Structures are given as structure tokens and as C-alpha cells.
């Protein structure tokens, strides 16, 4: 006979083991009640002792803590099992985020035990409740990029039986003193930067994944196009988790400009245009990787800031013909070069950049090479001629190992370590070669033809493609986990296996429900561990022929207990003959008025959520609360809560009856139809069947309603947690900084200074701290910018204009914005400067802004050369920076008079958890500094003076930088304490005389006497050039005005 193994007072595995060993007597009493009817009522009387969600929400560091057992996905705080010594470093220097020279920066290595292994991955990490790592969506490159910038140098050990001790722990504890912790999944952080948490170790929690297999996802993230007449050579050789810097110039000769673009997960935008000309004689851009950004120049290396690594001593390399460098690897002062465009074989060259590219070694092994990269001791290259992979000594380029017998497919690659060598082949396959195991495994496929790749770690790869002669793309590949997690049957089967039952002793074939996650969180019996699953997913367990069979509720009746067959008894005087069916109804006051289910909410970062179901009309005042460590979505949890309440009320009616042995095939858990004496019938679930030894079966059953249990067609709306917003990874893209050395924008800005504008590439940009250094070593924070400026660059050159103060209604300029938008304004606002902007040195007003494409606007109706910047009207070029002069976004930065002529260095730091990493450095040598006097106007030279007709008379009118309103009866105020000018007289480009001229209040005048003219070497018919500049109190010579005259 059989009976339900699990009930509110009965044990699942304990009861099963008792039955299998000692027969029915080994099963705890009360099992015949079934789970739902007995479990709900029992919950009112007995304290729940099973696993609960709160058990592992707080990170700890203690001996004797239970090791959680997770299924599917679950958020676990973990237990710190080892902590190294904190490392303290002063952070007041370069890249310190403006913390000042006294601020200490602390990093620390430690290990956190998570749960019993094996697990598949860690997908998300929270620090003090804030999301800092999120790779749960392989299509979200921004999150993956930011996560791998935030949490670096950490290793996840899955908890299998093959894992080895961690090297970081071995370095601290000793090789022989460090266990491998096999069977325990744990994470080791190597020197985690604690500065973003106030130099304290944060409370961490981790989303672990246990079930799915690894999947590779690749995508192209952003593309930048820069077209020239014959095409453009592009290179982005230095890639990181954040992207990289791309540089390109026109193919083949005749282009002096080099465009610089930023490639990131947030897009691809041009950041500057270098006016550079030099070597560019190659036939194609070589493939390879560098530890610094730049572009190769056959030979030579141009950096994004315009500096140049000369390679003039390289000499002639045997590459087939000049410009045939097809592959390279740059690391430190070494650059390794070779060619794959040959069929006769060429050497690999090692050139020393500190010695102007001098060749210091070359390989004797010739090949058609694809250089993959290297380590501190070796260089790796694939030879197309032999199909072999070669390992070379880094210093001498002597062959130290040859790998063959494997069908390598490599055009380029990356060396993460000497045992992790990655390749990208003709079919875009990304493969891993493990020399220690002699295995070559395809991991996935790149999104395009690759010119540069980098393995950020074993799961994250970043690519650049510069093969196209018009654009360059940034892409990535992420090896992630799928979205199908586990089934209830998998969890139940594993729990029974851990209790000592063999697979043949358990039947979970009916438990096919998909389950997001479940966790055994404390020390408890297997019976208690199965309880939350049985209560939430509505199944029972019974013994059947020596097998514990888990039976899912909600089935349709398997048969009918005919009324004529009821009342079987060996005794004619037995009450079973007179009362074949005994019906019992539980008191209403013993049943729940409401049911509350608390669980980790799938959509709320596993924070506890509670769903509630109530019975509208009842005399009961009992409220039942349940907590389960099962990850549920709100609507699913609500449906299950309602079903629990309904099941408790439906199951209040129970039946006892007897039959003959004809019904022996039915078992506890089966749903049956029970007929009554008056033709009525009930749907019941068998909870017990007992043989009396005299030919009769004693049955117990509970009223059942199969339709109450959640199914695929049943939907409901669960309650959501108020005030919760799903967290996203902080903005981790670039900060674009503009330092404007221009005349003052406001009357109050009369002291030396510059203006700072900054923005990001997304609306989520948090602002930035700006650090300043005068020696490129010690940086100090001087400002924080929280309001993004509208910035971009000119898609084409703005034509010159000579119309003075008249609006330029002829010319237009196309502006590509990094982020934000532009708007038109009325004519009155236009004249008042509502739409003021800085473009390549010129301050202008625009009236019309028309959007022509995504992030692209055409400006027209221009008022040019504002604020004394008319000289820049004739010098515009494509690619120059555009900044909308918004008073709320522009920051004024004072400078010292000693800064004029010296280089200032600026670094940016995001105002979020990524504040520990500086953005790209910007430098400026101030010349204007808001105190450079404007050029005089109406500068005229005329023959004759009051003294002599042979003299030359000069006159000019000064201008003011501030307080320049047009007032009747008053001239503009003088910006300086004294008015004087420097007059320079030139013969061609040669200065022949310099004179300081005192002003007359409105400008200046000077008589160039005939004697001085002759003394300066001018003869009749000669052209004399005059240049006048106003002097400032700060020693900054003003902008010049020029005029000429013929003697």
C-alpha cells in the first residue's frame, strides 16, 4: 500500500527512507493529511524551520556559516573566507581624481565564498546595494563595457572538483597553505580599489547562475566614417573594455589632416583633427595590437595628441617591398613587424622605439606571418606557409616552441597569457589555443573582419575593423549564459540525491515547471528543503514500489470510485456497510482568512516582495504568512498565493471510505471521482491507502479542484514594489572636454581665466570632476561640472565672411552633436545672443537650427566674429569643435599670469562609481586668457603729417573686452589701468622698428617721420607694413591690427 510521503507533519526523504527500510511503520504520522490541507493548518501551529530568503541577504565573515545550495539563478551575499592586507597608496598625483596629495587610496584582495558548486557564472554584483557589475544581457554592450571597467582583476571559481588554488591567495598565504576549496564556488578579488566606497570594504552580493551552458554573443557596437576621395586608412590598435581611439588619414598621399575619433559602447564620434603630414606610404593598414593608441606611419607612430615616435633608424626591412608591413605588435618600447603578403617567407623584426626604431633582433625563421601578440617573455605568430604556430623568445626572436598538428585559422589575435592564445580567422571564428592542453576551441564568431582584437578576460572580447577604406567599427563578443534556467524536477532530484537516494529511487518526471531560482539557505533537513518547492509548485510525494514518486497536482481524474464498490468490510455488522463514505469538514475558524507569500522578486533585483490573497467573506480571523527562497515574478507569485488560499478552503472537506482490492492500482496523489449515495460525486485527491490484511483497502481523500492551480492559460497581475527602479550600470563612456581660451563672455570675467565645457555621449552622463596640473605630474581638482554642454564638431568647413556686423545669410554649417539638441530662436533673441556658440575659435550667433539626421543639425542665419573673434572667420576647417555657450553649463576657471605660454593639463573623472579612472587628457597653452586686448579697429596709414609731407601718419581706435554696451555720449571704458600700444614696423616679414605708443583715450596715433623711414631702409616705392597691438596689465600682448602703405 502507499500513502503521501510529505505532509505538514511528515517527512519527505525521512518518510521515504523509513518506508524503504522499515515499511509503512517508518513513515511519520499525519502524512495522510496531504500537504496543502495539513500544511496550511500546520503553519498556524508550528514554526517554519525550512530555508528562508533573509538567511543569506547580508554578507558575513564567520566560521560555521551554512554553505548555500543554489538552483537556477539566485542572489547571494556570501561569506568572506579570506582577506589580505589593505594596500595604501597616495593618490594625489596623476590620475588620482583630484583627491589631493593627502588623500589615501586603499585597495584590498579578498575571497568571498558563494555557494555549493558547481555554478556556471556570476552575472551581477551589487556593492552596498548598488549595481556595479551586470552582464546579464549580452546585447547590452554599455552594461558589459561598464561592468568590466568597474570590477576588474576578479576570478570566479565555479566550485567543481577540478579547480586549483587561487594564485593571489597563494602569494599571501603560501603555496602549501592555500586550499582549492573544491565543491565551493567563490570569487577572488585582486586589489579591488575601495576608494569609491570611502576606502571601506563594501557589502557585496552576487547573482549566481548554475544551470545554463555558455553561449557566445557578438555585435557591432559603433561605426565612425571619414571619407576621402581615394578612401581612408584607419587604425584603432589600443582597445579596452571602454573602447578605444581611432585615427585615420587619406589614402594614399596628399592628405595632411589626421582625424581622431572616440569609439565606445555609447557611439563613435570625432574628437579632433590633427594638422599633420608625414610618412604614409603603406599599401594597407597593418593588423595588430598596441598598448598605446595611435596610428602606424610606415615606419613611425603618431599619437592622438600629435606627438610622434620616430622610426627613421629602422632602415630597410625585407618585407617584399616598401610599405608591406602587414602585422605588428607594439608593447612598451618594442614594436614587432612582419609581412603576410609574401610566398617566399620573411623574418619578424623587433624594433626599439626608444632608439628611433632601430632593429635590435630579427627571426631566422622565415614565414608568411600573422603576429598574434606576446607576453613578457614570448612572441607568438602564425605562419600561413606551414600552418604552424610559433613561439619566439621576445628578446632574440629565436624559436622556442612550434605547435603543429592543429588546423589553426588565424589572421590576427591576442595573447592573454602564455596559455590563453586567441585567434580570429577567415570565417570570423574566434578560437582559443591552450598550449598546456594542446587544444584549439572555437568560442564564437566576430561581428566583422577584425584588424585589432583584445581579450579583456576569458569571456569578453573587443574588436576593431579598419579594413574598410571609409569607416572603422568597434565590436565585441561576450560569452554569456542563456535565459532558460532550471526545472523543479532538477532541484528535487538533486536534493534527494544529496540525501542518499539513488536516481532509480526517485521519479520527478511530472515536475517539468520552469523555475527561475531556488536556494537552500541554512542548515535544515531535506524534508524542510523540499517543503517550499512543494508548497509553491503544488506537488505531493508518495512511495510506489520502492520509488518516491513526486506527483504534480491539477491532474484530471484517473478513475472513479463507484458507490456500489464502497463499504467493503469483512464484518457484516461493520459501520462501513451502513455508512460507506464518511465526510469531515474542518471548522471555518481554523482556515486562513488571508495568505501572504514573501519571496525574492525576479524583477526587483531579488529584493523581498509580498503577494497577498484574501477571502472576501469568512468568520475566520487567521492570517497565514509564508516565506520561500524561490525567485518568482510578481504575477506568478500572485497566482500561486491565490491558489494556496483556494486549496486550503477546498481541502477542508475530507473523506474516508473502503473498497475491495479491485482499486489497488491507484496510489496517493492520484485524482479520482468519488460517487455518493444520492448520485452526487466529488473530485478528490487520494491522500492515503492502507490494506487492512483482510481483503479491504482503507482510503483517505481530500476534496480537490484541479482548475485552481496555475497553468499556462492563467494570468493575473501581481503587486509591484513601490519606489523600486531597476538598477542600471552607471555611465562609463567618455567625457568630452573643451577648454576655451577666448575673450571674456561676461563683464565679470575681467581677470585671467579660461572656460571649461564638458559633456558625455548619453543623457545618463553624471557630470565630471576636472583636475588641473601645471607639470603633468601633480593634479588638483578645481571644478565639478554637472550640467552637460551641447557640444559636437563641424561636418564641413564654414566659409569665410566679410560682411562685418551684418548677419551672414549665405553660409551654413553642419554640426554633429555628441549629445543634446539645438533649437532655433526669434530674430530679437538672435541679435541678443540667445544662441551663442564657439566654433573653431570663432564666437557666432545662429538663428536657425534644422535637424537633418540623427545628432546632425544645420545652422543658418549667422552673426559672425562676436567678442573680437573675427580673425577666426577665415580659418575654419572640417572637424573643428563646436560648443554651445550656455551660461548654465560653461564653467569659468581662473588661471595665473605665469600660466601664459605654459602648458596646462586637464583630466576628467566621472561623478559616479567610475570616478577612479581618468578620461582622456586635454592640454592647453593659454594665450588669450580673457585678458588679451582686442585688436584695434580703423587702423589707417596716410602720407604726410603736420610737420612734413614725407612723414606717414598712423591712427587707430581701441576696443574693449567687457562693458561694451553702446551708450550715447560715452566711449567704451578702458580695460587696462593705462592705455598704450606696441607698434611694429616691418619690411616684408622682417621687423625694423618697434615703438611703444601712449594712447589718447580713444585709441592711438603715431607719426613715422621721414628720417626714421629712411633709417629703416625704405626707399621710394617700398611697401611698409604696420602692426599695432594694445598692451595689457598682465603683460599679454593684444590681438594685432595690420595695415600697409607704399612710400
* Listed residue (407, 343, 411, 337) closest to 379, CA to CA: 337
Instruction: List helix spans (H) across 470-600.
Output: 488-498, 526-537, 575-578
As a whole number, mean pLDDT of residues 912-922 equals 84
pLDDT, residue 534, reads 94
Instruction: Return mean pLDDT, the chain.
Output: 86
Residue 29 has pLDDT above 50, yes or no: no
As a whole number, mean pLDDT of residues 412-428 equals 94
Contact at 8 Å (CB) between 63 and 95? no
Position 55 confidence tier, pLDDT thresholds 50, 70, 90: low
Residue 3 has pLDDT above 70, yes or no: no
**Radius of gyration of the CA atoms of the chain, in A:** 40
How many whole angstroms separate alpha carbon 709 and alpha carbon 704? 10
579-593 pLDDT per residue, tens: 889 999 999 999 999
pLDDT, residue 18, reads 27
Backbone angles phi, psi at 603, to 5 degrees: -85, 0
635-672 pLDDT per residue, tens: 899 999 999 999 999 999 999 999 999 999 999 999 99
pLDDT, residue 56, reads 58
1026 compared with 1, residue with greater pLDDT: 1026
Contact at 8 Å (CB) between 288 and 232? no
832-859 pLDDT per residue, tens: 999 999 999 999 999 999 999 999 999 9
504-537 pLDDT per residue, tens: 999 999 999 989 999 998 888 888 899 999 999 9
Candidate from 951-955, 962-966, 1000-1004 with smallest mean pLDDT: 962-966
pLDDT, residue 217, reads 80
Distances (CA, A) of 890 to 736, 792, 885, 965: 13, 15, 7, 23
pLDDT, residue 10, reads 32
* Listed residue (831, 835, 865, 827) closest to 966, CA to CA: 831
425-459 pLDDT per residue, tens: 888 999 999 999 999 999 999 999 999 999 999 88
Q: How many Cβ atoms from other residues are within 10 Å of residue 636's Cβ? A: 21
Residue 7 has pLDDT above 60, yes or no: no
Contact at 8 Å (CB) between 999 and 1006? no
How many whole angstroms separate alpha carbon 901 and alpha carbon 1036? 10
Residue 254 has pLDDT above 50, yes or no: no
Give the chain's domains with CATH numbers. 2-6+11-53+488-708 (no CATH), 78-202 (no CATH), 217-481 (2.130.10.10), 736-924 (no CATH), 937-1046 (2.60.40.10)
Residue 39 has pLDDT above 60, yes or no: no
Residues with Cβ within 8 Å of 458's Cβ and at least 6 positions away in sequence, in order, are 416, 420, 479
The x, y and z cell numbers of residue 529, run together, are 528543503
62 compared with 293, residue with greater pLDDT: 293
Q: How many Cβ atoms from other residues are within 10 Å of residue 246's Cβ? A: 32
Residue 861 has pLDDT above 60, yes or no: yes
Residues with Cβ within 8 Å of 324's Cβ and at least 6 positions away in sequence, in order, are 282, 283, 339, 341, 342
The x, y and z cell numbers of residue 440, run together, are 584549439
Distances (CA, A) of 364 to 172, 346, 361, 909: 42, 9, 10, 48
The strands making up 1040-1046's β-sheet, listed across from edge to edge, are 990-998, 980-987, 1023-1030, 1040-1046
How many whole angstroms separate alpha carbon 76 and alpha carbon 119? 12
20 compared with 285, residue with greater pLDDT: 285
pLDDT, residue 546, reads 87
Q: Is 849 helix (H, G, I), strand (E, B) or coil?
A: strand
pLDDT, residue 22, reads 30
Residues with Cβ within 8 Å of 526's Cβ and at least 6 positions away in sequence, in order, are 12, 13, 14, 495, 496, 498, 499
Backbone angles phi, psi at 26, to 5 degrees: -80, -5
As a whole number, mean pLDDT of residues 789-793 equals 95
Position 12 confidence tier, pLDDT thresholds 50, 70, 90: very low
Kindly report the length of the chain.
Answer: 1047
* Listed residue (24, 42, 50, 69) closest to 517, CA to CA: 69
As a whole number, mean pLDDT of residues 799-820 equals 92
pLDDT, residue 32, reads 29
Residue 33 has pLDDT above 50, yes or no: no
Backbone angles phi, psi at 1023, to 5 degrees: -95, 125
Residue 199 has pLDDT above 60, yes or no: yes
Residue 20 has pLDDT above 60, yes or no: no
Backbone angles phi, psi at 271, to 5 degrees: -110, -25
Position 30 confidence tier, pLDDT thresholds 50, 70, 90: very low
As a whole number, mean pLDDT of residues 177-196 equals 92
pLDDT, residue 53, reads 64
Residue 1009 has pLDDT above 90, yes or no: yes
As a whole number, mean pLDDT of residues 551-568 equals 91
pLDDT, residue 373, reads 96
866: left (phi over 0), alpha (psi -120 to 50) or beta: beta
Q: Which CB contacts under 8 angstroms, 24+ apart, belong to 127-131?
A: 127/197, 127/202, 127/203, 127/204, 128/197, 128/202, 128/203, 129/203, 130/727, 130/913, 131/605, 131/727, 131/728, 131/729
pLDDT, residue 40, reads 31
How many whole angstroms separate alpha carbon 258 and alpha carbon 250? 8
How many whole angstroms separate alpha carbon 621 and alpha carbon 176? 63
pLDDT, residue 27, reads 27
Percent of the chain with pLDDT over 70: 88
Q: Is 834 helix (H, G, I), strand (E, B) or coil?
A: coil
Residues with Cβ within 8 Å of 8's Cβ and at least 6 positions away in sequence, in order, are 30, 33, 35, 38, 39, 40, 41, 42, 43, 46
pLDDT, residue 277, reads 72
Predicted TM-score (pTM) of this structure: 0.82
How many whole angstroms separate alpha carbon 632 and alpha carbon 640? 10
Residue 1004 has pLDDT above 80, yes or no: yes
Residue 723 has pLDDT above 90, yes or no: no
Amino acid at each position: 500500500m502507499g500513502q503521501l510521503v510529505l505532509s505538514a507533519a511528515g517527512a519527505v526523504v525521512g518518510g521515504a527512507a523509513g518506508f524503504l527500510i522499515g515499511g509503512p511503520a517508518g513513515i511519520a504520522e499525519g502524512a495522510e493529511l496531504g500537504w496543502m490541507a495539513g500544511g496550511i493548518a500546520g503553519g498556524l501551529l508550528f514554526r517554519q524551520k525550512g530555508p528562508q530568503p533573509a538567511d543569506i541577504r547580508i554578507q558575513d565573515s564567520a566560521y560555521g556559516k551554512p554553505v548555500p545550495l543554489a538552483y537556477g539563478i539566485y542572489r547571494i551575499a556570501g561569506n568572506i573566507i579570506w582577506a589580505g592586507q589593505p594596500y595604501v597608496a597616495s593618490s594625489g598625483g596623476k590620475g588620482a581624481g583630484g583627491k589631493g596629495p593627502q588623500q589615501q587610496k586603499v585597495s584590498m584582495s579578498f575571497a568571498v565564498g558563494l555557494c555549493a558548486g558547481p555554478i556556471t557564472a556570476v552575472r551581477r554584483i551589487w556593492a552596498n546595494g548598488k549595481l556595479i557589475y551586470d552582464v546579464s544581457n549580452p546585447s547590452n554592450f554599455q552594461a558589459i563595457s561598464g561592468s568590466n571597467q568597474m570590477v576588474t582583476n576578479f576570478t570566479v571559481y565555479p566550485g567543481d572538483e577540478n579547480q586549483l588554488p587561487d594564485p593571489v591567495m597563494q602569494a599571501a598565504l603560501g603555496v602549501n597553505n592555500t586550499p582549492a576549496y573544491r565543491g565551493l564556488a567563490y570569487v577572488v578579488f585582486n586589489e579591488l580599489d575601495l576608494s569609491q566606497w570611502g576606502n571601506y570594504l563594501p557589502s557585496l552580493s552576487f547573482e549566481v547562475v548554475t544551470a545554463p551552458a555558455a553561449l557566445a554573443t557578438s555585435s557591432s557596437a559603433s561605426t565612425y566614417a571619414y571619407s576621402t576621395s581615394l578612401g581612408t586608412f584607419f587604425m584603432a590598435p589600443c582597445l579596452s573594455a571602454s573602447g578605444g581611439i581611432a585615427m585615420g588619414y587619406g589614402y594614399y598621399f596628399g592628405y595632411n589632416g589626421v582625424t581622431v575619433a572616440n569609439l565606445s559602447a555609447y557611439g563613435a564620434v570625432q574628437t579632433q583633427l590633427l594638422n599633420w603630414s608625414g610618412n604614409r606610404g603603406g599599401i594597407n593598414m597593418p593588423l595588430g595590437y598596441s598598448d598605446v593608441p595611435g596610428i602606424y606611419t610606415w615606419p613611425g607612430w603618431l599619437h592622438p595628441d600629435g606627438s610622434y615616435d620616430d622610426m627613421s633608424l629602422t632602415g630597410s626591412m625585407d618585407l617584399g617591398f616598401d610599405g608591406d608591413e602587414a602585422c605588428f605588435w607594439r608593447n612598451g618600447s618594442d614594436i614587432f613587424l612582419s609581412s603576410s603578403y609574401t610566398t617566399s617567407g620573411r623574418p619578424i623584426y623587433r624594433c626599439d622605439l626608444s632608439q628611433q626604431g632601430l632593429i635590435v633582433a630579427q627571426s631566422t625563421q622565415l614565414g608568411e606571418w600573422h603576429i598574434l601578440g606576446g607576453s613578457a617573455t614570448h612572441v607568438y605568430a602564425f605562419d600561413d606557409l606551414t600552418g604552424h604556430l610559433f613561439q619566439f623568445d621576445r628578446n632574440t626572436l629565436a624559436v622556442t616552441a612550434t605547435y603543429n598538428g592543429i588546423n589553426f585559422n588565424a589572421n590576427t589575435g591576442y595573447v592573454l597569457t602564455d596559455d590563453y592564445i586567441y585567434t580570429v580567422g577567415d570565417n570570423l571564428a574566434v578560437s582559443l589555443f591552450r598550449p598546456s592542453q594542446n587544444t584549439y576551441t572555437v568560442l564564437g564568431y566576430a561581428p566583422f573582419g577584425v584588424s585589432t582584437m583584445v581579450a579583456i578576460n576569458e569571456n569578453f572580447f573587443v574588436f576593431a575593423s579598419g579594413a574598410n577604406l571609409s569607416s572603422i567599427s568597434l565590436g565585441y563578443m561576450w560569452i554569456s549564459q542563456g535565459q532558460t534556467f532550471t526545472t523543479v524536477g532538477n532541484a528535487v532530484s538533486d536534493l534527494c540525491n544529496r540525501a542518499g537516494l539513488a536516481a532509480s529511487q526517485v521519479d520527478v518526471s511530472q515536475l517539468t515547471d520552469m523555475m527561475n531560482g531556488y536556494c537552500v539557505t541554512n542548515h535544515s533537513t531535506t524534508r524542510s528543503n523540499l517543503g517550499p518547492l512543494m508548497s509553491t509548485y503544488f506537488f505531493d510525494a508518495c512511495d510506489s514500489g520502492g520509488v518516491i514518486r513526486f506527483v504534480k497536482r491539477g491532474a484530471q481524474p484517473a478513475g472513479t470510485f463507484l458507490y456500489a464498490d464502497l463499504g467493503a468490510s469483512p464484518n457484516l455488522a461493520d459501520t462501513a456497510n451502513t455508512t460507506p463514505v464518511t465526510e469531515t469538514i474542518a471548522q471555518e475558524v481554523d482556515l486562513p482568512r488571508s495568505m501572504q507569500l514573501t519571496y525574492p522578486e525576479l524583477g526587483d533585483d531579488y529584493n523581498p516582495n509580498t503577494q497577498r490573497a484574501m477571502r472576501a467573506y469568512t468568520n475566520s480571523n487567521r492570517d497565514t504568512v509564508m516565506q520561500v527562497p524561490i525567485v518568482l515574478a510578481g504575477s506568478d507569485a500572485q497566482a500561486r498565493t491565490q491558489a494556496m488560499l483556494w486549496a486550503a478552503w477546498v481541502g477542508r472537506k475530507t473523506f474516508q471510505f473502503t473498497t475491495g482490492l479491485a482499486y489497488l492500482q491507484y496510489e496517493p496523489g492520484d485524482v479520482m471521482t468519488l460517487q455518493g449515495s444520492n448520485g452526487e460525486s466529488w473530485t478528490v485527491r487520494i491522500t492515503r491507502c492502507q490494506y487492512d490484511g483482510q481483503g479491504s483497502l482503507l482510503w483517505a481523500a481530500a476534496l480537490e479542484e484541479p482548475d485552481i492551480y496555475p497553468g499556462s492559460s492563467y494570468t493575473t497581475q501581481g503587486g509591484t514594489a513601490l519606489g523600486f527602479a531597476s538598477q542600471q550600470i552607471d555611465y562609463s563612456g567618455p567625457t568630452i572636454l573643451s577648454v576655451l581660451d577666448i575673450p571674456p563672455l561676461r563683464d565679470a570675467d575681467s581677470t585671467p581665466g579660461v572656460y571649461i565645457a564638458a559633456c558625455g555621449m548619453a543623457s545618463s552622463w553624471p557630470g565630471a570632476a576636472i583636475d588641473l596640473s601645471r607639470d603633468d605630474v601633480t593634479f588638483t581638482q578645481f571644478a565639478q561640472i554637472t550640467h552637460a554642454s551641447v557640444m559636437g564638431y563641424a561636418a564641413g568647413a564654414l566659409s569665410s565672411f566679410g560682411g562685418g556686423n551684418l548677419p551672414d545669410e549665405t553660409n551654413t554649417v553642419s554640426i554633429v552633436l555628441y549629445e543634446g539638441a539645438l533649437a532655433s530662436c526669434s530674430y530679437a533673441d538672435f541679435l541678443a545672443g540667445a544662441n551663442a556658440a564657439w566654433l573653431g575659435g570663432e564666437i557666432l550667433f545662429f538663428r536657425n537650427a534644422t535637424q537633418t539626421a540623427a545628432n546632425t543639425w544645420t545652422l543658418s542665419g549667422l552673426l559672425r566674429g562676436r567678442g573680437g573673434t573675427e580673425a577666426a572667420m577665415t580659418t575654419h576647417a572640417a572637424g573643428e569643435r563646436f560648443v554651445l555657450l550656455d551660461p548654465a553649463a560653461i564653467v569659468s576657471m581662473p588661471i595665473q599670469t605665469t600660466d601664459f605660454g605654459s602648458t596646462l593639463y586637464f583630466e576628467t573623472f566621472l561623478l559616479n562609481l567610475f570616478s577612479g579612472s581618468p578620461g582622456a587628457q586635454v592640454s592647453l597653452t593659454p594665450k588669450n586668457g580673457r585678458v588679451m586686448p582686442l585688436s584695434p579697429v580703423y587702423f589707417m596709414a596716410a602720407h604726410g603729417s603736420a610737420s612734413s609731407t614725407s612723414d606717414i601718419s598712423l591712427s587707430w581706435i581701441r576696443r574693449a573686452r567687457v562693458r561694451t554696451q553702446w551708450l550715447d555720449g560715452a566711449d567704451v571704458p578702458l580695460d587696462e589701468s593705462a592705455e598704450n600700444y606696441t607698434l611694429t614696423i616691418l619690411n616684408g616679414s622682417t621687423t625694423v622698428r618697434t615703438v611703444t605708443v601712449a594712447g589718447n583715450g580713444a585709441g592711438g596715433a603715431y607719426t613715422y617721420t621721414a628720417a626714421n623711414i629712411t633709417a629703416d631702409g625704405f626707399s621710394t616705392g617700398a611697401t611698409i607694413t604696420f602692426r599695432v597691438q594694445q598692451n595689457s596689465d598682465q603683460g599679454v600682448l593684444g590681438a594685432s591690427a595690420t595695415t600697409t602703405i607704399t612710400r
